[in-house]
Structure 1
Amino acid sequence: MAKITFSSISIENFGPFRDRQTLDLTVTSSRSVVLVKALNGSGKTTLLTALQVGLYGVKAINSVRRTEYEQLVQSLQRTDAVGHASISVGLIVDIGGVRKEVTVRREWPQKRGSFTESFSVLVGGTVDMEFTHGWDEFIGGILPAELVQLFLFDGEKIEALANPERLPDLLRRATEVFLGIGGIDVLGNDLKAVERRAALRNKDNSEEYEAAKNALLELESQAETLTRTHADLIQEQAASRNTLDQAKLALERYVAEARRGGLAAYEQAAQIRSNAVSANNQVNAVRSSIAEAMSDPFLPLAWLHRLWARYEDEWATDRQGRNAKLLTEEFKKRDRRILAALTAEGSGGSVSLVRELLKRDLDQARAARYRKPLLTTDGDPADVNANLMRARSHIQATVASFESARRELDVSERALGEVPAEEQLADILATMQGKTQTVAVAEQRLAQISTVLSETQGSLSHVRARLDAARSRLSTEFKDRSLETKGLEAGARARRTLTVFKDRLLASKAHWLSEMITAEFRSLLRKRKLVSHVLVDPSSYEVTIKDGKGQELPMDRLSAGERQMLAVSVLSALIKERKGRFPVVVDTPLARLDRQHRTSLIKRFFATVSHQVIVLSTDEEVDGAAYDALHPYTNREYILDFSDELGHTTVRSDAGRSSALEVA
């Protein structure tokens, strides 16, 4: 089997590329990565499209309508082109140990109202007519066009492969193609043709057989027509589903941007206004509470401040004076008792001396302690202080509540001021309505196609049942009339055997896929214990994920980054089945991944998935730690520079940065 390696690509007058731009894509076995960096709109996706279109032409877009391919190419042709639009893809083709350098070239002359494409394959600089005419068969034998997007894919859309509804069909079809099972189907169809011809020859002279033969031919014609219609509808359904997914994604992104531009505040305007009214009512209620608290009869005493303290001091002094007066009277009584005792017991001189001393002490005590009271005795401030403290605490709490309510009102009024007017959002609302309408139309179109597909499937099943009955009648009622009838039976047995063989072959490959996808997924995941196994059902090819406890883990429980890692794991398993026979090109692979997932993807996917990997990145994706992780595997680096002034992109080699890192 041949092996393909890109050696170069040249683009002229195609997308943002006006003057001929050429990228050398040769790599070595130890450095198999070519890094192409560019800002959005500078030509990354155009480069991916150019590789697909250059190799596969109309088959690159997986559409049953050639007009879609023509519209795609015409939309990418530059109106300011001087010459033809062209794509030249240089290839190194290894076949049976022989290496050929081949150039695949497509040109599109700029003709208004018509579409013309020129295609040629050059070997050694000369057009090889035989290779040119057989190119579709040659490249399809290496990698069928329907699977090219598994090798040349958009990293931002790859998460869609993890859709549980699409994944089984993708895995089954890819496995059938990679295993060459299509040959089994062709052999089965050949046996059907042999059966049909044998039955027709055997009963040419029988009117009854003629009727049965005509009925069989009619049913076969109906079955073939319905089969083609069914296949076309499946492709159309897939295209419609992709259109719907893109429309939904565009709507989600626009709504997210609009919310940052004021739409969120506009949508919450009713709640914001309600909050403002509630805050204003709270302020008014607290203001009434303040008025009620101010009416407390004890509250004015709190405003006396120092005067009230002075009153307390004066009242204490009066109380002390009253107490001193009582003590003085008691001292006088005590002195009389002492003098009477001394008179009875002692001399007159001693009594006189003691009397004089006691009188002097009493006079001093009376002069120091007694003052005529200034205040009434029933005005004790201690009786008032409890009520005063209660009134003061009440007014303080009420004022604090008022301040809190006022702050809430200020916040609500500021939020209300940020709500944009409806006329300010008119354009945003109109655009959003348009995108919503686009989603609705896409959903309606998908529903219509699904309905027609279901009806066609039912009709096809019915016709096949009738066809099997007609064939059974021919092989039973007329089996003893000719030796060829035995061929019908042998052909039927062979077809049944081929069917069993095909199913068992697919089942055995399902087990291999389970092991490969599990190994790839666990090596890429940041949460190593999140998944224990990824199972591919041998019959339906449905994918089931088991968590660390052996329980089923629904795919919708995975994060966006984890779903992308699952899709990449599926791709890695399928790509490695090709055993390095075709390059891998990925556009915008890291935009939605965190740092750890980026490093895993670089080291365990880019470095091992194929003998040649081309990474198309934005200027911020492969930078810093991601760039350092990719650098050991990078052979060449390019930058796509788009000039706003000139309106086109030029290719610039970024060899300087690579050299600097090598030295470091």
Structure 2
Amino acid sequence: MIFIELVLQNFGPYLGRQVINLVPKNDLNDCPIILLGGMNGGGKTTLLDAIRLALYGHRAQCSTRGNLSYSEFLNQSINHHTKPQEITTIELAFEHIIDNETQVFRVIRTWTKNQRNGKDNLGILVDDWPDVSLVKIWDEYIENLIPLGISNLFLFDGEQVKELAENEITPPVVINAIQSLLGLELAERLSIDLEILVHRQRKDIAGAKELVTLEQIEKQLDYLRKDYTLAKQELAVLQNNLDYSRKQHYLAQEKFLSEGGKIAAESSQLKQQSDDSSAALEQARQKIIELASDILPLGLILPLLIQAQSQVEKEYRTSQAKSALNVLIERDKRLLNCINQLNLLTEQIDKIKSFLASENQYLQQEICSEKELWLTDDTEILKQLDNLLQQDLPSQIKQAQEQLVNISNQEEEILAIEKQLATAASPEEYEKLANAVRTSQVLLIESQTTYDVGQRRIEELAAAIENKKKDLQEYSKQNIDSKNYEHIIYASAKVQDTLKLFREQLAIKKLGQLEDEITKHFRFLLHKSDLVHRITIDISTFSLSLYEFNGQPVPKHRLSAGEKQLLAIAFLWGLAKVSGLRLPVAIDTPLGRLDSSHRQNLVDKYFPAASHQVILLSTDTEIGKKEVETLREKEAIAREYLLKYDSSTRQTTVVENQYFW
């Protein structure tokens, strides 16, 4: 199946007729991804609801329906600028292969405000020809193409992934999808039919007294089953309420964060941090002042100080040369007197005199080279200059640089805090935001409590039904003894045992395939593939268990938030693969809670391979500039759309061939 086109007219924030081409093909190649970008509240989820509504009508599990009746939901979905007589329309065109031939279906649902029958008008075109007979059986027909029970495996949003990632218990929607995929519903139905057959046989062979008792037990069992069915229906409503409460609480928290509620709540702490930074800043400035009052300013004339040190060293060497020259002249005189007494040859004495003269001439030249003495040749001054240039001044310069860095850091910290405080909500606005969060939290707790009560009610009814079945079976064994129908009852009991074994074996076989798919996809998405070696699914609760290479279990709490979300996506991906259905995948807000590495893994590995057609509904922070450029380089994007939302009119316009970047 391939979605070809989605048409919205006066639906949600979409005023007028707006057409979205969904064909996963550009001018040159087949490309799986249709990318639609929009800010939060701009109509992304509305597109996913429109697809669900077009396919399933009153059975659609739309995000904003909650516990509204279908007619109320339809009225609520009409754009508020639509005139009473104007029509609201949703059209979904898709192609599907039937008997090796490709057929194009166009599902058209129209309605107006406060329509009399409270329903929409359904029209079906097959290859552009109206098909009235198909309209009458559309619910059954679409169930064969995309069963409602597994539709959430292909049309899902970030909240669904978040719930699956964070909850230890597998959500009911996923459990229903698994049971539908495994074919357990058919076996369960056959088991119920066998029970009905056995009950009829028991009635036929029971006596008058036994028949009354038998009928009483069966009535009680029938009442319990009706109560169980009603409880299941009520639980579905409670589940919708719980999902709605969770979403409202999430939206309230997001609004609290985005509009400065959190900053306002932390304003006193931020102000204290600002005061601390200001104090640290003043302390650093005082330290700079103290350093400036000592020898630090000499750092401004460091070249002059180095020149002075060099001059002092030269003058010191000149002074030493003068002293040495006088000593050497006196020594030379004594040496020559001694040589004269040795009766050496005149030539030898002249050579000695020449050597001594040349040596003394070197010292004389060094003395004469320093024509002007600027500074004293005091050794103490030379030591002071050395200490100043080698130790004291570098130390103070280093301290000053550290304080300057400290001052810069403190100023940046103060500026950042001031920017945060500038975005903080006013006290009145903060109180509204906080009240909204508290109210949504109270509603969420109430919804969760009510749902838990409903769940326990179902468990109690299920236990009561099983007990009543046992009573019925025991009663028939003890009070009904008829050879004519005994073989039927006996055979039915054996068939029931066989069916139970069949369900177990079927579940084991199918779950084995599902486990392999989930493990393969999870390791494919992870950037550290050695984290998990094997994933198993509990046959009764359908919860996941993770194991290392050595067989040791990996507790789910050891996974990071991003790894949990990848596990949830791998779960949904594996279910979709095991279903064997080639259906489009639509994902709303797919990357909300992933870090950069896990996000890149999804972009590189999941989106291009999730299906032959992948509809991505994203904000600018999820599929950002880097991610969209990666997908473009891979030539994975067939079409791009930008959902431009005007907050003043609360209208969204679909702009083709455009994204945030």
User: Given the two structures, how large is their TM-score scaled by the length of structure 1?
Assistant: 0.71
- Superposed CA offset, 1:490-536 (max 9, x none): 32332232122111211111111111112222223333333322222
Q: 1:559 deviation in Å?
A: 3.9
- Superposed CA offset, 1:61-83 (max 9, x none): 17997625444433331232352
Indicate if the aligned counterparts of 1:266 and 1:419 stay in contact, CA closer than 8 A.
no
Indicate if the aligned counterparts of 2:124 and 2:134 stay in contact, CA closer than 8 A.
yes
Map of 1:452 onto structure 2: 453
Moved more, 127-136 or 267-276: 267-276
The letter for the 1-side match of 2:57 is G
Map of 2:304 onto structure 1: none
Distance in 2 (CA, whole Å) between partners of 1:403 and 1:520 is 54
Q: 1:21 deviation in Å?
A: 2.6
Q: 1:240 deviation in Å?
A: 0.9
Matches within 5 A, 1:308-457: 425=424, 427=426, 429-453=430-454, 455-457=456-458
Distance in 2 (CA, whole Å) between partners of 1:129 and 1:48 is 26
The letter for the 1-side match of 2:576 is I
Distance in 2 (CA, whole Å) between partners of 1:648 and 1:439 is 26
Alpha carbons of structure 1 residues 509 and 487: separation in structure 2 relative to 1, 3 Å:
same
The letter for the 2-side match of 1:604 is A
Matches within 5 A, 1:184-583: 184-203=187-206, 205-206=208-209, 208-230=210-232, 232-233=234-235, 236-237=238-239, 239-241=241-243, 243-244=245-246, 247-248=249-250, 250-251=252-253, 254-255=256-257, 258=260, 264=266, 266-270=268-272, 272-273=274-275, 425=424, 427=426, 429-453=430-454, 455-457=456-458, 459-481=460-482, 483-484=484-485, 486-547=487-548, 550-583=551-584
Distance in 2 (CA, whole Å) between partners of 1:268 and 1:617 is 33
Map of 1:337 onto structure 2: none
Distance in 1 (CA, whole Å) between partners of 2:10 and 2:117 is 17
Alpha carbons of structure 1 residues 423 and 599: separation in structure 2 relative to 1, 3 Å:
closer
Q: 1:471 deviation in Å?
A: 0.6
How many percent of aligned residue pairs carry the same amino acid? 23
Indicate if the aligned counterparts of 1:290 and 1:395 stay in contact, CA closer than 8 A.
no
Map of 2:92 onto structure 1: 89
Distance in 1 (CA, whole Å) between partners of 2:187 and 2:181 is 13
User: Which of 107, 117, 125 in structure 2 is aligned with 1:122?
Assistant: 125
Alpha carbons of structure 1 residues 140 and 470: separation in structure 2 relative to 1, 3 Å:
same
Moved more, 519-528 or 498-507: 519-528
Confirm or deny that 1:31 pairs with 2:33: no
Q: 1:37 deviation in Å?
A: 3.0
Confirm or deny that 1:13 pairs with 2:10: yes
- Superposed CA offset, 1:456-485 (max 9, x none): 145325522430342123311232146345
Confirm or deny that 1:598 pairs with 2:595: no
- Superposed CA offset, 1:422-477 (max 9, x none): 99945352244124313421442244224413541453255224303421233112
- Note the residue ranges of structure 2 that are not aligned, 5 or more in a row: 294-307, 309-318, 320-377
The letter for the 1-side match of 2:32 is V
Distance in 2 (CA, whole Å) between partners of 1:642 and 1:399 is 57
Distance in 1 (CA, whole Å) between partners of 2:226 and 2:519 is 39
Question: Which structure: larger Rg?
Answer: 1
Indicate if the aligned counterparts of 1:283 and 1:402 stay in contact, CA closer than 8 A.
no
Q: 1:243 deviation in Å?
A: 3.1
Alpha carbons of structure 1 residues 566 and 498: separation in structure 2 relative to 1, 3 Å:
same
- Give RMSD over aligned pairs: 5.4
Distance in 2 (CA, whole Å) between partners of 1:224 and 1:143 is 28
Distance in 1 (CA, whole Å) between partners of 2:444 and 2:67 is 24
Distance in 2 (CA, whole Å) between partners of 1:273 and 1:646 is 44
Map of 1:299 onto structure 2: none
Indicate if the aligned counterparts of 1:90 and 1:103 stay in contact, CA closer than 8 A.
yes
Indicate if the aligned counterparts of 2:227 and 2:461 stay in contact, CA closer than 8 A.
no
- Superposed CA offset, 1:570-593 (max 9, x none): 222222233344322233445645
SS class of match (2:152): helix
The letter for the 1-side match of 2:216 is N
- Superposed CA offset, 1:391-427 (max 9, x none): xx99999999999899979987996787679999453
Alpha carbons of structure 1 residues 280 and 173: separation in structure 2 relative to 1, 3 Å:
same
SS class of match (1:57): helix
Distance in 2 (CA, whole Å) between partners of 1:617 and 1:414 is 34
Distance in 1 (CA, whole Å) between partners of 2:497 and 2:615 is 44
Distance in 2 (CA, whole Å) between partners of 1:240 and 1:541 is 21
User: Which of 148, 164, 168 in structure 2 is aligned with 1:165?
Assistant: 168
Moved more, 222-231 or 498-507: 222-231
Map of 2:345 onto structure 1: none
Q: 1:183 deviation in Å?
A: 1.3
The letter for the 1-side match of 2:271 is A
User: Which of 97, 112, 134 in structure 1 is aligned with 2:137?
Assistant: 134
Alpha carbons of structure 1 residues 404 and 587: separation in structure 2 relative to 1, 3 Å:
closer
Map of 1:58 onto structure 2: 58
Distance in 2 (CA, whole Å) between partners of 1:258 and 1:399 is 43
Map of 2:372 onto structure 1: none
Alpha carbons of structure 1 residues 524 and 52: separation in structure 2 relative to 1, 3 Å:
same
The letter for the 2-side match of 1:217 is K
Q: When the two structures are aligned, how many residues end up with a matched partner?
A: 602
Indicate if the aligned counterparts of 1:169 and 1:541 stay in contact, CA closer than 8 A.
no
Map of 1:613 onto structure 2: 614
- Superposed CA offset, 1:143-171 (max 9, x none): 22132121122256434333453437555
Confirm or deny that 1:110 pairs with 2:113: yes
Map of 2:104 onto structure 1: 101
Distance in 1 (CA, whole Å) between partners of 2:214 and 2:649 is 72
- Superposed CA offset, 1:104-140 (max 9, x none): 1111112389844212323354543321121111111
Indicate if the aligned counterparts of 1:202 and 1:482 stay in contact, CA closer than 8 A.
no
The letter for the 1-side match of 2:3 is F
Distance in 2 (CA, whole Å) between partners of 1:417 and 1:32 is 47
Confirm or deny that 1:626 pairs with 2:628: no
- Superposed CA offset, 1:303-331 (max 9, x none): xxx9xxxxxxxxxx9xxxxxxxxxxxxxx
Q: 1:7 deviation in Å?
A: 3.1
Alpha carbons of structure 1 residues 268 and 215: separation in structure 2 relative to 1, 3 Å:
same
SS class of match (2:36): strand
SS class of match (1:48): helix
Map of 2:373 onto structure 1: none
Alpha carbons of structure 1 residues 537 and 226: separation in structure 2 relative to 1, 3 Å:
closer
The letter for the 1-side match of 2:631 is A
The letter for the 1-side match of 2:192 is N
Indicate if the aligned counterparts of 1:265 and 1:418 stay in contact, CA closer than 8 A.
no
User: Which of 19, 24, 39 in structure 2 is aligned with 1:22?
Assistant: 19
SS class of match (2:156): strand
Indicate if the aligned counterparts of 1:48 and 1:587 stay in contact, CA closer than 8 A.
yes
Distance in 1 (CA, whole Å) between partners of 2:411 and 2:630 is 46
Alpha carbons of structure 1 residues 136 and 396: separation in structure 2 relative to 1, 3 Å:
closer
Distance in 1 (CA, whole Å) between partners of 2:292 and 2:96 is 91
Alpha carbons of structure 1 residues 276 and 584: separation in structure 2 relative to 1, 3 Å:
closer
SS class of match (1:111): coil
Moved more, 639-648 or 225-234: 639-648
Moved more, 254-263 or 450-459: 254-263
Indicate if the aligned counterparts of 2:125 and 2:131 stay in contact, CA closer than 8 A.
yes
Distance in 1 (CA, whole Å) between partners of 2:277 and 2:433 is 28
Alpha carbons of structure 1 residues 647 and 256: separation in structure 2 relative to 1, 3 Å:
closer
Distance in 2 (CA, whole Å) between partners of 1:382 and 1:26 is 92
- Superposed CA offset, 1:576-629 (max 9, x none): 23334432223344564533431112343245xxxx333444565462122221
Map of 2:302 onto structure 1: none
